[in-house]
Chain A
Amino acid sequence: MSQKILVIDDHEVMRDLLQEELQESGYDVVTAESCFDGLNILKEQEFKLVILDIRMPGMDGIEALEKIINANRGLPVIIHSAFSHYKENYLTWSAADYIVKSGDLQPLKDSIAQHIR
């Protein structure tokens, strides 16, 4: 059975791109367009890894990260943000990794391979 990944990102283009690319790499991908949706999906389904954007309307990824970590100890979360400065924020340090968005998805794929459980 393939490993299941949840992608939380408010940009449809990014969700579609990740879904396509990661499915090609053999992962089973579920997407959510907001942190609220993502947290609800996490309550119902089991995942091996979460990819989380930071700047999103409603609840941002930092707040969601705390909630995910607290409710799902041992579940790795990779932050995938266009901005690098959130790396300085202590609240993001509990993520398994922090990948800055770029056209090249290889760093993200490498990180997933390294952290997925």
Chain B
Amino acid sequence: MNIHGKNILTFVLAGGKGSRLYPLTRDRSKPAVPFAARFRIIDYVLSSCINSGLRHIYVLTQFKSLSLESHLRLGWNFLANELGEFVTAVPAQQRISEAWYSGTADAIFQNLHLLEDHRPEHVFILSGDHIYNMDFNEMYDQHIKSGADLTLSVMPIKKKEAHEFGVLTTDENGSVTSFIEKPQDPSTIPGEGDDCFINMGVYLFKTDSLVRELAADAREKTDHDFGKNIIPNMLSKMKVQSFDFTASKFGDYWKDVGTIRSYYDANMDYLKKVHAQSNKAETWPLRTLGEQLPSAYLGGAEIRVSNSTIGSASRITDSTIKNSLIGRNVTIGEGCDIQDSIVCSGVKIGKNCKIKNTIIDHRAKISDDKTIGYNLEEDKKNLFIADGLVILPKQFEY
């Protein structure tokens, strides 16, 4: 079965503030944060949608959405409008109330008119701020076979990390038997040691069941949240089925980049994956905004680059680049040494800089002879430090 051509509507929730990713989220929402110095976080979920055959996609945005909306307009505007396909940003329009979305379920409820316009049979609701690949056909197949009102993708993680997520238990058929959002004492999977099943924020609903639940929830004073309200309420009266992500095609990797450290680690994981040259990547391209730029230029007799990616139009002379992600249009002067760092597009680095464990956001400028990331106590005086990493915000000059 292929979901392309099926009557499915997809919502990507892209309103995440990403407060713990500050200062990367100073001027943009979490899904718009750059990733691997080439992509944006939201490119992952959108690529999986397109590669799976989902072509009717609304991206629900709210505050600080300019950067995201411009990325979608310039980078994701390639579907066939004539065939009714689209990736469209839907800013919180405050159409029916003056408030922002009060929760994930409220974001969908306030856009019920889109469901009424399209009348899909099933609705995917996906989170725009996780790093993973997924073939949604596998989940759809199971959803149809089981006849579930809701299928949600789950994966096991260690109990000590599970309290940040929705934790659920299932019976032997994968039917969800309990669901608690951010529990103090997460329930473990029987027979699996201290592993817990967590909710990945990937939902597939029968439309009628979804609307019935959203409408009932909207009448009440609740948090209007899928994890806190909608899913727990459905368990007693509807068929809620889990989908085992780890058994699926790309089930070896999923990351919620909620903190600077996890964001950095996910970037470094990307580098490892590029190094491993995963065959899956060739048939499952990660798409983003493409720009017409010349090739990167690496010059001088003393240039050394290892385990790194370099974006188009970047110019690097007589420097050492190791375990780093360098974006597009980056200039690095002579005699620099850059290790274990993320250098986003448009950054300019002067001569003889030594940089380690640093995230440099778009178009920041670093003058000659700077040392960053070697002495955090010293860096702290002038720079932003989080989770043992130095972060230079967008357009910062140092």
Contacts and interface: CB of A to CB of B under 8 A. Distances in A.
B219 A91 contact: no
A85 B214 CA distance: 21
Interface in A91-107: 91, 93-96
Instruction: Categorize the interface residue count of chain B.
Output: 20 to 34
A71 B97 contact: yes
B219 A69 contact: yes
**Most chain A C-beta atoms within 10 Å of own C-beta, residue among B214, B215, B222:** B215
B112 A91 contact: yes
Contacts of B95: 66
Given A90-B211, A93-B211, A93-B215, A73 B220 contact: yes
A76 interface: yes
B212 interface: yes
Interface in A65-99: 66-67, 69-71, 73-74, 76, 89-91, 93-96
Nearest to A94: B215
A90 B213 CA distance: 11
Contact of A70 (B96, B214, B220, B222): B96
B75 to A, nearest CB: 31
B218 A90 contact: no
Interface in B64-118: 95-97, 99, 109-110, 112-113, 115-116
Nearest to A115: B219
**Most chain B C-beta atoms within 10 Å of own C-beta, residue among A63, A66, A95, A96:** A66
A93 B213 CA distance: 9
B294 to A, nearest CB: 51
A91 B218 contact: no
Contact of B116 (A74, A90, A96): A90
Nearest to B110: A70
B215 A74 contact: no
A94 B222 CA distance: 14
Nearest to B211: A90
A95 B216 CA distance: 8
A90 B115 contact: yes
Interface string B206-231: 00000110111011111000000000
A56 B249 CA distance: 53
A91 B115 CA distance: 9
A68 to B, nearest CB: 9
Contact of A91 (B97, B116, B216): B116
Given A67-B97, A93-B211, 9 more contacts: A63-B96, A67-B96, A70-B97, A70-B218, A73-B218, A73-B221, A74-B221, A91-B113, A93-B212
